[in-house]
Amino acid sequence: MPTRSMLGRLVLTRLMLARLMLARGLLLSSLLAAPGCFLSRTTANEPISPALVARLEPGRTTAGEAASLFGAPAEVIQLGRRSAYRYDHTLTKRAGLALIVVGLFGSDTHADRVWLFFDEKDVLTHVGATLRAEDAEYALPWERLEH
């Protein structure tokens, strides 16, 4: 006939065993999940400074001055006698989780992009700027993007 103290010890031992199993389970799942996580960041070109964009003056800034401010354009387009320069910087943030055979991946790309339009005398006529590269986010597929 088991005594009360023996029953108590048995319950305690079972409880400890359950805790040990749980700890092992958690450790194993952490070990399995850990090698499959990644965050990566890919950039193209240098970020475009809003301060530099603000220094452009349509009607005054020349193509040469624009080139000395921003450097060589990524693209030059001939528009009849006029031309347009493109400057851009792209930022891609990727997040992934690979759990044995299940892969969850999210990729978000945004850009800083500036187009400068010049007349036939190479004087700036228009500027189009979108500076959103920093809006790129690390997010898995179910996560809501803020932008």
Partner 1 sequence: MRTLAVLACLGALSSCISLNWSRDTRFEPPPRGALASLRPGESDLARCLAVLGAPLYVAEHRVDGLALAYGWYESAAKGFGFSIPLARRTSASFDFDRIDADMKGCVLILDPDGKLTLVRKGRLRAITADLGRRRPASLED
Q: What is the DSSP string of 16-29?
A: HHHHHHHHHHHHHH
**For every residue of 66-100, which 3-state class applies, written as one string?**
HHHHHCCCCEEEEECCEEEEEEEEEEEEEEEEEEC
Considering only residues 83 through 112, tell me which ones interact with partner 1, judged by CB under 8 A: 83-84, 86, 90, 92, 98, 100-111
Q: Does 66 bind partner 1 (CB under 8 A)?
A: no
CB of 123 to partner 1, least distance (A): 15
Please choose, from the candidates 45, 56, 51, 48, the residue with its C-alpha nearest in 3D space to the C-alpha of residue 117: 56
Return the range that interacts with partner 1 (CB under 8 A); candidates 5-13, 14-22, 76-84.
76-84
Residue 57 is encoded by which pair of tokens?
A: 């003056």
Report the nearest approach of partner 1 to the CB of residue 69 (Å). 16
Compute the Cα dihedral for 98, 101, 104, 107 and give only its sign.
Answer: positive
Size of the site for partner 1 (CB under 8 A): 44
Q: Is there binding between residue 31 and partner 1 (CB under 8 A)?
A: no
Instruction: Please report whether residue 12 would count as binding partner 1 according to CB under 8 A.
Output: no
Q: By CB under 8 A, is residue 119 in contact with partner 1?
A: no
What distance in Å separates the CA atoms of residue 133 and residue 51, rounded to the nearest whole number?
Answer: 15
Residues of the shown chain interacting with partner 1 in the complex, contacts defined by CB under 8 A: 32, 42, 44, 75-84, 86, 90, 92, 98, 100-111, 113-115, 117, 126-130, 132, 135, 139, 141, 145, 147
